[in-house]
């Protein structure tokens, strides 16, 4: 049985009944999730699961700790409350620990779609059947996943805070394999009606067909057109740097640079949970309302995000970006929106004399956290551009590139779109045409 507001209230009454801590917080999460997986042009797995968990945080004498359970009978609730308090008493006192927040007001976001919550295995199988037929039409092999479900989050505390959010989720991801090439496409949305699996399958197939028998291109600095998934997976390595605690502890690449111009004039980034293409709850891990925050404006790092604790340390106001306590990370923006332009990828290609088109990146690792140098490889569709046209597929390349330098060298951007990758969470980002992107070595495929 999925969590609803009435059941959440009932569970919290039991938590309050058994908790003897000075202050008590209950985080309740409920998920119904199903997926259909396919490979070698055949569906090979269907699964569905439901879960409901309770996590209790006890606060006593400037100490706090958390205990969790997925058993919700009265005895189990009593034990988890006792465990949280026992663990809290074993912690060293934290003089910076704040009282739990009181009642809050949240701006409404509607991210629950009944038709997605009720999507069944036959619905997913029909979409996958069409995708497999698209693969077989060109003698390709398809693999991927179609998932759907819903999630509920409730955060209540003993000072009267009552935060509740429910939303649906869906994902279609597909890889098309040829004899010497591959193509990939993926999309996520709170509504499965936004996915369009047939279009994604066709896109992956065209990528695989166009990149067959890839040629070698020597390493070097190239103009590169990064499709949105590639942009997203690079940007994911920078989000924690916008956290106030990371700057306060001098582990952010923006330490000493807030208020300074760091990127190109055309770069504008904000964290915006209310953007129509975003997902997620309008409150953070402590129940503080999320605010829309301008992070970068015309290349200048304008603001950071703050949890309650970090805001108190730095004499700022919390922005609603904290994680559930206790945690050592502080805060991070998780609803990134990069302001795009109106140039299409096709227009970017036409404007490029010599360069590369990159579908996505993978196996990305951080080399230098302060200069934000990243390394990784291209994957599933890398193409040579010459005289404004895609000429042929090329073998994948490894890059060593400063993300700060990359975002200072953006020449053109597409309109922003909700984007999913494999190395980071979803964002709203554009494709980017970037000059002097550094590819350091070749791969064999």
DSSP of 72-110, one letter per residue? -SHHHHHHHHHHHHHHHHHSPP-TTPPPPP---------
Give the confidence band of 429 by pLDDT, cuts at 50, 70, 90: very high
Distance CA 140, CA 238 (A): 36
Round to whole Å and give the CA distance between 76 and 79: 5
**What confidence score (pLDDT) does residue 1 get?**
76
| pLDDT above 80 for 444 | no
**Does the pLDDT value for residue 400 go beyond 80?**
yes
Q: Is the pLDDT of residue 82 over 80?
A: yes
pTM of the model: 0.96
Alpha helices in 217-344 (DSSP H): 228-235, 244-248, 308-314
Span 312-356, pLDDT tens digits: 999 999 999 999 999 988 999 999 999 999 999 999 999 999 999
φ, ψ of residue 150 to 5 degrees: the values are: -145, 155
Residue 363 has pLDDT above 90, yes or no: yes
The pLDDT score that the predictor gives to residue 68 is 98
Q: What is the pLDDT of residues 39-81, one digit of tens each?
A: 999 999 999 999 999 999 999 999 999 999 999 999 999 999 9
Q: Within 10 A of 413 (CB to CB), how many other CB atoms are there?
A: 23
Q: Are 203 and 210 in contact (CB under 8 A)?
A: no
5-199, superfamily in CATH? Answer: PmbA/TldD superfamily (3.30.2290.10)
304 falls in which pLDDT band (50, 70, 90)? very high
Burial 391-410 (b: 16+ CB within 10 A, else e): eebbbbbbbebbbbbbbbbb
Closest by alpha carbon to 29, among 81, 70, 77? 70
- Cα 24 to Cα 17, 53, 283, 367: the distances in Å are 11, 16, 18, 41
Domain ranges across the chain: 5-199, 209-235+341-442
Provide the pLDDT for residue 442: 84
382 — phi, psi (to 5°)?
Answer: -120, 130
pLDDT score at 10: 97
What is the per-residue pLDDT for 445? 78
Averaged confidence pLDDT in the chain: 97
Task: Tell me the H-state helices in 327-411.
Answer: 345-350, 403-406
**β-strands 220-226, 354-368 pairing:** parallel
pLDDT score at 169:
98
How far the first Cα of the chain sits from its last, in Å, is 48
Coil, helix or strand for 230?
helix
368 Cβ partners below 8 Å, 6+ apart? 402
Selection from 62, 68, 74 nearest residue 21 by Cα: 62
Give me 78's structure tokens: 């009593």
Q: CA 355, 359, 362: angle at the middle one, nearest 5?
A: 110
pLDDT score recorded for residue 220:
97
pLDDT band for position 101 (cuts 50, 70, 90): very high
- The answer to whether 190 touches 170, Cβ cutoff 8 Å, is yes
Q: Where are the beta strands (DSSP E) in 99-213?
A: 141-157, 162-177, 182-189
**Number of residues assigned to the chain:** 445
Q: How far is CA 145 from CA 123, 171, 172, 334, 442, in A?
A: 13, 8, 6, 24, 30
For 124-173, write each residue's pLDDT tens digit: 999 999 999 999 999 999 999 999 999 999 999 999 999 999 999 999 99
**The pLDDT of residue 264:** 97
Can you give the pLDDT at residue 441?
94
């Amino acid at each position: 049985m999925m969590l609803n507001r009435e059941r959440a209230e009932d569970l919290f009454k039991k938590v309050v009944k058994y908790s003897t801590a000075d202050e008590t917080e209950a985080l309740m999460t409920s998920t119904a999730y199903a997926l259909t997986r396919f490979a070698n042009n055949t569906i090979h797995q269907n699964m569905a699961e439901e879960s409901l968990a309770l996590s209790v945080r006890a606060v006593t004498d400037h100490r706090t700790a958390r205990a969790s359970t997925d058993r919700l009978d009265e005895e189990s609730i009593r034990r988890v409350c006792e465990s949280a308090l026992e663990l809290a008493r074993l912690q060293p006192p934290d003089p910076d620990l704040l009282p739990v927040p009181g009642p809050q007001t949240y701006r409404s976001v509607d991210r629950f779609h009944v038709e997605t919550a009720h999507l069944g295995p036959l619905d997913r199988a029909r979409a996958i059947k069409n995708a497999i037929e698209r693969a077989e039409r060109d003698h390709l092999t398809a693999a991927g996943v179609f998932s759907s479900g819903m999630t509920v989050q409730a955060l209540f505390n003993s000072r009267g805070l009552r935060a509740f959010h429910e939303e649906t989720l869906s994902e279609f991801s597909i890889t098309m394999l040829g004899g010497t090439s591959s193509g990939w496409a993926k999309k996520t949305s709170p509504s499965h009606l936004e996915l369009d699996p047939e279009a994604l399958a066709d896109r992956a197939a065209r990528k695989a067909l166009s990149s067959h028998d890839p040629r070698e291109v020597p390493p070097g600095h190239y103009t590169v057109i990064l499709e949105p998934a590639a942009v997203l997976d690079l940007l994911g390595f920078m989000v924690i740097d916008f956290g106030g605690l990371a700057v306060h502890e001098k582990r952010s690449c923006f330490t000493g640079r807030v208020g300074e111009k760091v990127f190109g004039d055309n770069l504008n980034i904000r964290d915006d949970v209310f953007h129509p293409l975003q997902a997620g709850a309008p409150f953070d891990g402590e129940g503080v309302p999320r605010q829309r925050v301008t992070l970068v404006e015309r290349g200048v790092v304008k603001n950071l995000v703050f949890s309650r604790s970090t805001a108190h340390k730095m004499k700022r106001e919390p922005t609603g970006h904290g994680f559930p306590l206790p945690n050592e990370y502080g805060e991070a923006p998780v609803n990134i929106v990069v302001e795009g332009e109106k140039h299409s990828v096709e227009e970017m290609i036409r404007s490029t004399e010599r360069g590369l088109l990159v579908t996505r990146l993978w196996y990305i690792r951080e080399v230098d956290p302060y200069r934000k140098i990243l390394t990784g490889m291209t994957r599933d569709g890398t193409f040579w551009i010459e005289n404004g046209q895609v000429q042929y597929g090329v073998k994948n390349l490894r890059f060593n590139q400063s993300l700060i330098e990359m975002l200072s060298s953006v020449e053109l951007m597409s309109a922003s779109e909700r984007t999913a990758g494999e190395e980071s969470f979803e964002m709203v980002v554009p494709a980017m045409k970037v000059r002097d992107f550094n590819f350091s070595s070749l791969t064999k495929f």
